[in-house]
Amino acid sequence: MTDYRSIVITGASGGIGTELARAFAGPGVSLALIARDATRLEALAEDCRAAGAIVSVAGIDVRDRPALHAFLQAHDAEHPVDLLIANAGVTCGLGEGRSRESDGDAEWLAEVNYKGAVHTVSALVERMRARKNGRIVIMSSLAGMRGLPDMPSYSATKAALIAYGESLRGWLRRDRVGVTVICPGFVTSPMSARHMGAKPFEISAQKAARIIKRAAEKGRPFRAFPFPLALGIRLSKFLPAWASDLCYASMSADVERDPRSDL
């Protein structure tokens, strides 16, 4: 078990990110919390400080690579980061009447979910390599293990993160920098609330944060949960494509538009 003392969390203003910050907060722990909503970050920071943590916050969009790099590298100079959690993510579904995704939504998903994670990692990975220490956590999704018919681009970005994390793990192994890829299922959050359909085995954000924290501390290379849903996805890989598609058709859902997608 590794006891991390300097932790960065992107997408910290809600859902899993918020509960991860609370789970890691404690005496002697330095937290850097990043999200676009600086007001919500400050409220979270006060909770974490009350638990004994040293907290810095930044209202930065992970698409803004120069600003993100500047903040992370300045923070790392004072508190060398040993756990970097690329958690920021957004979701969109099909268009009205189950029409195709808009070009803007598809590009937004790619920019935030995939490129945002790359921007986060690239800010600090060479510093972690030089120190021969640390762990990077990449937040993917069960949708990255098997694409959902209602969320094509979301699923694609999460699949890209699995491949990215696997590649990082192989590259960084000799530098003693670990990589953990996380694939949650349905987690109660504002994002999940916009998913209008079945949400089998949905769990709380607090429980998800505990699972992710434990996976990072144990140095797990990959963690998918909840177990029944992750197992079902793995088993579906052995079905003919038509049978697999029928199974996932039964989970059809509409995804309400994320108001942030207009920003």
19: pLDDT strictly greater than 70: yes
Q: Is the pLDDT of residue 176 over 90?
A: yes
Pairing type for strands 83-86 and 178-184 reads unpaired
Residue 152 resides in a domain: yes
Q: How far is CA 75 from CA 36, 48, 58, 70, in A?
A: 18, 17, 11, 9
The answer to whether residue 1 sits within a structural domain is no
Segment 41-56, tens digit of pLDDT:
999 999 999 999 999 9
Query: Which of 100-114, 134-148, 197-211, 247-261 is least confident?
Result: 247-261
Catalytic pick from 4, 114, 154, 164?
154
At CA 207, angle to CA 40 and CA 128, rounded to 5?
70
Which alpha helices (DSSP H) does 173-237 contain, by range?
A: 190-193, 205-217, 227-236
Q: Quick one: average pLDDT of 224-244?
A: 93
Write down the pLDDT at residue 262: 54
Q: What CATH number is associated with residue 108?
A: 3.40.50.720
The predicted model gives 112-138 an average pLDDT of 98
* Residue pair 165/198 in contact by the 8 Å Cβ criterion: no
Decide which of 196 and 12 is more confident: 12
pLDDT at 93: 84
Mean per-residue pLDDT for 231-242? 92
Confidence of residue 258 (pLDDT cuts 50, 70, 90): confident
d(CA 114, CA 101): 17
Q: Say which residue the tokens 């800010």 belong to.
A: 123
User: If 0-12 CB within 10 Å is exposed, 13-18 middle and 19+ buried, where does residue 191 land?
Assistant: middle
Q: Does residue 53 belong to any structural domain of this protein?
A: yes
- Determine if the peptide bond prior to 190 is cis (ω within 30°): no
Residue 196 confidence (pLDDT) above 90: no
- Residues spanned by the domain of 114: 6-262
Count Cβ neighbours within 10 Å for each residue of 194-217 and write b for 16 or more, e otherwise: bbeeebeebbebeebbebbbebbb
Reported as a pLDDT band with limits 50, 70 and 90, residue 95 is: confident
Cβ atoms of residues 221 and 181 within 8 Å = yes
Residues 142-166, mean pLDDT to the nearest whole number: 96
Q: What is the predicted pLDDT for the residue at 246?
A: 84
- Which helix or strand (DSSP H or E) is residue 248 part of? helix 241-249
- What CA–CA distance (Å, rounded) separates 124 from 86? 12
Question: Annotated catalytic, 154?
Answer: yes
Tokens 């991390």 correspond to 4
Position 228 confidence tier, pLDDT thresholds 50, 70, 90:
very high
Mean pLDDT of 111-134: 98
Scan for tokens 């290379």, then name that residue: 221
Query: How many independent structural domains does the chain possess?
Result: 1
Going by C-alpha positions, the residue among 114, 84, 113 that lies closest to residue 20 is: 84
- For residues 62 and 88, the answer to whether their CB atoms sit within 8 Å is yes
Strand 253-255, strand 195-197: pairing: antiparallel
- Quickly tell me which residue has 């058709």 as its tokens: 249
Of the candidate ranges 96-105, 133-142, 216-225, the one whose mean pLDDT is the lowest: 96-105
Identify the residue with better confidence: 239 or 124. Answer: 124
